[in-house]
Amino acid sequence: MRIAVIGGTASGPAAAAEAVRANPEAEVVLYEQGSHVSVGACEIPYFVADQIPEASTLEILTPEQFEETRGAAVRVRHRVEAIEPEKGRLVVESLVHGSRHEEPFDRFILATGAHARRLGVDGEDAGGVFTVRGLEDAVAVKNWLESEPVQHVVIVGGGFVGVEMAEAMRHRGLRATILDPSGRVLRGVLSDGMAGPMMEAIHTAGVAVRAERVSRIETDGHGRVAFIRTDKGEKIGCQAVIVGIGIEPRTELAKSARVKIGMTGGIAVDDQMRTSQRHVWACGDGIEVPRVVDGKKILWPLSPIARRTSRVAARNAAGAKPADSFASVTPSVAVRAFGIEGAAVGLTLEDAQTSGFDAEAIEIKHWSRVSTMPGAKRLHVSYVVERGSGRLLGGSLVGEEGAALRANVLVPWIRHGVAVREIVEEMDLIYNPPLAPAIDALRVAASAAMRAINKSKKSAR
């Protein structure tokens, strides 16, 4: 059996390695059009900030190391132009030699990932305008900052990438401005109240957050960015622009193989990661997956899910028995920037209400440790709960310490339908003065949610 894996970074290498483990007799070949096959992309902001000094540090395994330790053949600088599953072959172009050829394979795993969304405005191709999706992007940004007279960087988008890149600019001693239509950061992840501590820290660090969109990028006489114009008619001078407005799945290759694309724009797969084509599986950032609690298909382009889906796709493509399956994703994200941790798990209130839940959100403030202990910090917690059952549907935490790892506790609670009453009455959470208070913030929030639910029930009578 010959198995072709198309794509590198996280899901492709994980799929190739798992396919070899599942079927040592199979010949597994990994194709990547770039020069790197296994890269830690989430470390990019810290590389740009000079906290990670060398680009090579971000390369987890070189192609040679991957072949030696994982047992799959690697073809970097090879772009797969088309997959023809009914003919059992793919068309490959060698970017080094400029030649095209066909190769026979029995099964195919699409790990083509996603690309950064573009602004779609005039001047976007100017020198000094960047996205930060891969290692080459990171190197390009850092080289520009070190070789050009950059003083001010405009960051478009107030999501995780935007916040982390703004912090990276301040770490380098540069001015930074975030543009986001909402006028704040982490929209769609944290509520207005929960985003408050992060916004305060950002402003304290000297970063402006403006409720504007880019309408045009203007250049100097040498094709380099000089300033941007916004939808409000403002002119903002800058010497670099970093665009972080989300991603779009790479589906061109899937479409060429007549693979079905889902409503989200991602590749549609079943619970075994098989596509609509019998001999084609898919995994990683380019696919849509069901969300826990409501089963809605979503895009969730993060490394943990990329690895989970890649293992399922690889084992099934390799013929492992019994077949492996993927249940659902419990959305969970976190960021630490400007001294603040922010984390969210499960559904937001808007998600829950859109999915038809009779839900409400509560927010509380508590302490990361016993309040009298040195270093104790305020911790903000929000729960989204179903009114009738008291089931926890989602949650978020924000604070200077203790937010992100506490959020991990919410993952199994949400995944297994735990009610807030169970959190109050049955969950034995850690108490240790320098680590956590006697009544943890997670339990305080559950108690507040119970009171809110009981009040709603009384009001409905």
Mean pLDDT of the 178-187 span: 96
pLDDT, tens digit, 9 for 90 and up, residues 37-78: 998 889 999 999 999 989 989 999 999 999 999 999 999 999
**Domain extent at residue 100:** 2-37+57-114+248-317
How sure is the predictor about 222, in pLDDT bands with cuts at 50, 70 and 90?
very high
Domain for residue 236, yes or no? yes
Q: Is residue 315 predicted with pLDDT exceeding 90?
A: yes
355-362: average pLDDT: 96
pLDDT of residue 272: 98
pLDDT band at 405 (very low <50, low <70, confident <90, very high): very high
CB-CB contact of 145 with 137 (8 Å): no
Tell me if 333 is assigned to some domain: no
443 touches 422 (CB < 8 A): no
Tell me, yes or no, whether 356 and 435 share the same domain: yes
Report the CATH number at residue 260. 3.50.50.60
Average confidence score pLDDT of the chain: 96
Q: Quick check: 36 pLDDT over 70?
A: yes
- pLDDT single digits (tens) 249-292: 999 999 999 999 999 999 999 999 999 999 999 999 999 999 99
Q: Is 133 found in the same domain as 102?
A: no
How do 247-249 and 114-116 pair as beta strands? antiparallel
Whether residue 415 has pLDDT greater than 70 = yes
Does residue 128 have a pLDDT over 70? Answer: yes
Q: Is the pTM of this model over 0.85?
A: yes
Q: Note whether residue 413 is domain-resident.
A: yes
- pLDDT band, residue 459 (cuts 50/70/90): confident
Q: Is the predicted pLDDT of residue 329 greater than 90, yes or no?
A: yes
Residue 143, classified by CB atoms within 10 Å of its CB into exposed (0-12), middle (13-18) or buried (19+), is: exposed
Q: Are residues 350 and 456 in the same domain?
A: yes
So what's the pLDDT on residue 458? Answer: 74
**48 lies in some domain:** no
**Does the residue 430 lie in any domain?**
yes
Is there a single domain that holds both residue 110 and residue 258?
yes
| DSSP H/E element including 337 | strand 332-337
Q: Domain for residue 259, yes or no?
A: yes
Model confidence band, residue 413 (pLDDT cutoffs 50, 70, 90): very high
How do residues 368-397 score in pLDDT, each as one tens digit?
999 999 999 999 999 999 999 999 999 999
* pLDDT of the residue at 204: 98
Instruction: Identify whether residues 201 and 258 lie together within a single domain.
Output: no
Residue type, 116: A
What's the confidence (pLDDT) of residue 187?
Answer: 94
Question: Could you please report the per-residue DSSP string of 10-57?
Answer: THHHHHHHHHHHH-TTSEEEEEESSS-SEE-GGGHHHHHTTSS--GGG
pLDDT in tens, 425-437: 999 999 999 999 9
Quick one: which of 30, 2, 27, 25 has its CA closest to 14?
30
Would you say residue 47 lies in a domain?
Answer: no
Selection from 185, 23, 35, 183 nearest residue 106 by Cα: 23
Both 10 and 101 in a single domain?
yes
User: Does residue 461 have a pLDDT over 70?
Assistant: no
Total count of domains within the chain: 3
Q: Looking at residues 127-147, what average pLDDT do you find?
A: 95
Which of 245, 270, 297 corresponds to the end of one domain? 245
The pLDDT, as a whole number, for residue 457 is 74
Looking at the domain assignment, is residue 398 inside a domain? yes
pLDDT at 368: 97
Tell whether the model's pLDDT for residue 460 goes beyond 80.
no
pLDDT of residue 10: 87
401 and 430 in one domain?
A: yes
Q: Is pLDDT of 228 > 80?
A: yes
